């Protein structure tokens, strides 16, 4: 065991040092043949950001309904009551996918459409809706990749027992998931249990910037309730146990007849050391441990990274022997939502730790997109999104080396433009920066597959349509299709649509 741990640590350090891959990744001769036979291309979405129709057909309230309607939580004071109305427009949107030549569509099911209050009686109208959506996708040759949980926890469960902070959520999520397997598993062969558990643990329970908005920053001046030092770890732990429980149910009861596979999608920045100092290299690994290893290590090795155990101490929950066995190996593929790369450096002063005493402080790493006042790459609209294509190849190789090359699907990748009132629709459709972004990240991904042997099976662009972007509201446009929020949500193809069409139909 000691030798295995030493080997993993050495691999991790070596990969942090090996931070950039260049050359062939920037080739301009990108085509479908740049990827293996059977490689899947698609677009991605989520129920709360897309569907709208928040009071239709028995749908219950979610924590995001409450959060978005709370003053000051969303930058433009908007909400997703209507969003892009895909609940009613899904057939037209499917045709947009077909027009591009896409193979698959990743969408999420709204838990509160299946169970209005999270538990109890099944809401048949919700089952009917997703049956229609899945059937419509398959009729057009589009494979459904279904996410069971994309942040929209039924508000009733948060009110009843604080949601992900209570182990009761494991059983309730498992019941909901099994209902979906029964209803849709004859046609859905790719399941994603959770989208970005790291994000909703940190943003929802550490810094309080997303639903349900819990934190203890500055003695609750920012959030009314929460404990940033403990709650993110509890939420993540319960999420891992819920994923493993659901995966076990699927494998035992449904996989033999349905033949599907189960994964989970993680948000993963790539980090490079600010300097070549030993301290910054070690801090870079800790930053990755507290982001990605937090979830991947239990799934592949049966426990959290040593750096987390050491630095978080008793605040980090422990797996029983049975739980560790349940969690380890409980996924068939790894979903990766990768957008950007930042620098990491050692936090020697621990000033942040003294103020916050949270997961960020526990990592002992400071992450920034700047070095010597120079950005790490060209900036997109979002304050966190810098364009660093080679990070994709570095991340894929990190996964290949540290976790023994598991099957990977890029479940999200993309960039946003601003939603400016001064930009005409005609000009907004000229999204050459987005085209360069997807080209360069896909070229980097192709090199990781073809030249390095990384086992990557698919790529989903975020996103099909401009949509409601959580706390950023409608200020951000990630879509391949422009949505005119002022004119009945009309969809217009940006230039990137034609670029993808050319790519996907190329010989």
- What amino acid positions are annotated as catalytic residues? 196, 412
Q: Is the peptide bond before 212 cis (omega within 30 degrees of 0)?
A: yes
Helix (H) or strand (E) holding 132: helix 124-139
Query: For residue 240, what is the enclosing H or E element?
Result: helix 231-249
> Given CA atoms 363, 227, 109, 85 in this order, what sign does their dihedral have?
negative
* Vertex 172: Cα angle to 315 and 235 (nearest 5): 20
CB within 8 Å of 150: residues ≥ 6 apart: 46, 47, 48, 108, 195
Pick from 48, 44, 35, 31: nearest CA to 82: 48
Supply 335's token pair.
Answer: 């979903």
Q: Which helix (H) or strand (E) holds 505?
A: helix 495-505
d(CA 39, CA 143): 12
Structural tokens at position 228 = 């940033």
Question: In whole angstroms, what is the distance from residue 190 CA to residue 210 CA?
Answer: 27
Helix (H) or strand (E) holding 173: helix 168-184
Per the CB < 8 A criterion, the answer to whether 189 and 260 are in contact is yes
Residue with tokens 């403990």: 230
Tokens representing residue 433 in the block: 């920066």
Let me know the angle formed at the C-alpha of 34 by 450 and 481, rounded to the nearest 5 degrees: 130
What is residue 473's DSSP assignment? T
């Amino acid at each position: 065991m000691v030798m295995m741990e030493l080997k993993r640590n050495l691999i991790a350090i070596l990969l942090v040092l090996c931070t950039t891959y260049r050359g062939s990744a920037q080739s301009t001769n990108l085509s479908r043949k740049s990827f293996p036979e059977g490689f899947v291309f698609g677009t991605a979405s989520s129920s709360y950001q897309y569907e709208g129709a928040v009071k239709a057909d028995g749908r219950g309230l979610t924590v995001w309904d409450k959060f978005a309607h709370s003053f000051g939580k969303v930058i433009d004071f908007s909400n997703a009551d209507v969003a892009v109305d895909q609940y009613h427009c899904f057939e037209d949107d499917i045709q947009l996918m077909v027009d591009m030549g896409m193979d698959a569509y990743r969408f999420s099911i709204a838990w509160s459409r299946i169970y209005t209050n999270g538990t109890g009686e099944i809401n048949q109208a919700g089952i009917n809706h997703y049956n229609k959506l899945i059937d419509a996708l398959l009729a057009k040759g589009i494979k459904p990749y279904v996410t069971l949980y994309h942040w929209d926890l039924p508000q009733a469960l948060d009110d009843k027992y604080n949601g992900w902070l209570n182990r009761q959520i494991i059983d309730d999520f498992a019941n909901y998931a099994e209902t979906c397997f029964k209803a849709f598993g004859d046609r859905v062969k790719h399941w994603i249990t959770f989208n970005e558990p790291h994000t909703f643990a940190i943003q929802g329970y550490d810094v309080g910037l997303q639903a349900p908005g819990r934190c203890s920053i500055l003695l609750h001046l920012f959030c009314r309730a929460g404990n940033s030092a403990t709650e993110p770890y509890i939420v993540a732990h319960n999420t891992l146990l819920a994923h493993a429980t659901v995966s076990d149910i699927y494998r035992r009861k449904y996989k033999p007849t349905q033949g599907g596979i189960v994964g989970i999608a993680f948000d993963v920045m790539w980090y490079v050391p600010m300097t070549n100092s030993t301290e910054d290299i070690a801090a870079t690994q800790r930053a990755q441990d507290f982001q990605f290893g937090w979830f991947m290590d239990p799934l592949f090795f049966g426990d959290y990274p040593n750096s987390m155990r050491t630095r978080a101490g008793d605040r980090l929950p422990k797996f029983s022997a049975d739980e560790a066995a349940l969690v380890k190996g409980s996924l068939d593929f790894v979903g990766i939502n990768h957008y950007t790369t930042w620098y990491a450096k050692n936090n020697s002063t621990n000033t942040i730790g003294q103020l916050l005493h949270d997961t960020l402080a526990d990592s002992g790493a400071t992450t920034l997109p700047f070095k010597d006042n120079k950005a790490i790459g060209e900036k997109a609209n979002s304050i966190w999104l810098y364009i660093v294509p080679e990070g994709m190849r570095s991340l894929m190789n990190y996964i290949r080396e540290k976790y023994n090359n598991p099957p990977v699907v890029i479940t999200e990748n993309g960039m946003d433009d601003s939603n400016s009132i001064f930009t005409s629709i005609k000009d907004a459709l000229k999204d050459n920066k987005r085209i360069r972004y997807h080209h360069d990240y896909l070229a980097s991904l192709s090199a990781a597959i073809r030249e390095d042997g990384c086992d990557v099976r698919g790529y989903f662009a975020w996103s099909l349509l401009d949509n409601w972007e959580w706390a950023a509201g409608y200020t951000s446009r990630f879509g391949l299709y422009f949505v005119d929020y002022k004119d009945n949500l009309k969809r217009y193809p940006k230039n990137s649509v034609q670029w993808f069409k050319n790519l996907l139909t190329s010989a």
